[in-house]
Amino acid sequence: MSTRARVLVFIAVVVAIAVAATVYVVDQGREVRAERAAEPEAEQTPIAEVTDGPRIVFRHTGLDSQYGVVAVVPLDDPGGPRAFTGVSCNRVAARPDGASCLISNDGVAASYEGVELDADWQQVASNDLPGIPSRTRLSPDGTLVATTVFVAGHSYMSTGFSTATEVHEFGDGERWGNLEKFQLVVDGREVNPVDRNVWGVTFVDDNTFYATVATGGRTWLVEGDLAERTLTSVSQDAECPSLSPDGTRVAFKVDVDPGRRVEWQIAVQDLATGERTLLEAGPRGLDDQVEWLDDDTLIYGMPRADEPGVTDTWAVDTTPDAAPQLLIEQAWSATVVR
C-alpha cells in the first residue's frame, strides 16, 4: 500500500471509530436520561407508613428516578411497597434515631463525604472522607459511627490497596481516629506491621467492636476496645464481621480459594466456643458486609451479572445447606432497624 493509501485508510478508520463512539455516547446519554426520568418499578408507599415499626433501610438501585436514594420497607413485608427518603447515599446504615450515609461526589477533584442524619432524614453533621466509601455501621444505641473508605494514593502497600477505618461519636462528637493507629495484638503478642489495614466494623456496645485487620496478606477477626485503643485477634481468615442481634455469633466472609483468586463464602462463628460453620450452599463470591435479619438469618447484597449498577438483597439461613433467597429486589447496603 502506498503512503497515500495508508493515510486514507487511517482517516477512514478514525472517522468510523469516532462516529461509532459518538453514536453510542449520545444513545446511552438519551437512554440513561430516560431511565432516570422513569418512575420506579417497585411499588411505593408514604414514608410515614414505615417509620415506626421494625424496618429495613437500604439504597435503592433500580435504574429510575430514585436510583441511589435510600428507601425503607417494613421488616414483616420486605418485598412489599417501599418508601423513599429523598436522601442519596452510596452506603447507608440506620438505627431507630438516625443514620450514617456515605456519599461520593465524582469529578476530576472527586470528594467524599460522611453525613449523619436524624430520624426524619435531616442532616445533623457532615465530615470529609479521605476516599471512596466502602462500609458504615452504627452502634446498637446509635451513639457511635464507623466508616471505612479506600484511600487514594496509598497503593504503595504490598497488597496494593489501603483502607481508612474511623470511629466517631454520632453528630460530630468525640473522634477516635484511624483504627490503624490502635495497638494491634495478634495471638497474644503486640505487633506493629506497617502494611496493616482495618475494615468492616460491627459494634457490640459503645466501647467494644469487631473488625477485620489485614497484614502480610492474611486477615484476622479482631475485637476492638475504644477506651484501651487496642485491637486483639480472635481468629484468622475472616473479613467484614457482623455481630448477631443476641451477641453470641459473628458472621463474616471467608476466602475459600486462598490463592490468586478471591472467592468468598459466608461463615458463622460461635463466640463462646469458637466453632465455625461454613454456609456451603450459600452465596459464592459475595463481597459485602453481611447483616443479620434475625438470630438465624443473614442478608447481603449481590450485583446482578446482566445489569450493571443493579443489585439485589438476598437472605440465607445460618445452616451449611441453606440456599439463598431473594429478599428485596433493587436493594443494596441494607440494615435492619428493630
Q: Which of residues 145-164 bind another protein (CB under 8 A)?
A: 148, 150, 152-163
Task: Check residue 25 for interaction with another protein (CB under 8 A).
Answer: yes
CB of 7 to another protein, least distance (A): 7
Residue 188 corresponds to which cell in the numbers above?
497474644
Q: Which residue has the cell 453525613?
A: 115
Q: Which residue lies nearer to another protein by CB, 25 or 323? A: 25
CB burial string 2-35: b at 16+ within 10 A, e below: eeeeeeeeeeeeeeeeeeeeeeeeeeeeeeeeee
The window from 39-47, 128-136, 139-147, 322-330 that contacts another protein (CB under 8 A) reads 128-136
Asked if 202 and 211 count as a contact pair (C-beta separation under 8 A), the reply is: yes
Q: Which residue lies nearer to another protein by CB, 152 or 323? A: 152
The window from 47-55, 125-133, 225-233, 291-299 that contacts another protein (CB under 8 A) reads 125-133
Residue 273 corresponds to which cell in the numbers above?
466456643
Asked if 173 and 237 count as a contact pair (C-beta separation under 8 A), the reply is: no
The window from 49-57, 69-77, 192-200, 317-325 that contacts another protein (CB under 8 A) reads 192-200
Q: Which of residues 270-299 bind another protein (CB under 8 A)?
A: 285, 287-288
CB of 268 to another protein, least distance (A): 20
CB of 192 to another protein, least distance (A): 7
Q: Which residue lies nearer to another protein by CB, 3 or 273? A: 3
Asked if 64 and 41 count as a contact pair (C-beta separation under 8 A), the reply is: yes
Q: Which of residues 46-65 bind another protein (CB under 8 A)?
A: none
Task: Check residue 108 for interaction with another protein (CB under 8 A).
Answer: yes
Tell me how many degrees the CA angle 241-295-276 measures, rounded to the nearest 5: 50
Return the SS3 of 220. strand
Q: Which of residues 196-215 bind another protein (CB under 8 A)?
A: 197, 199-200, 214
Instruction: Please give the Cα distance from 102 to 147 (Å, whole number).
Output: 8
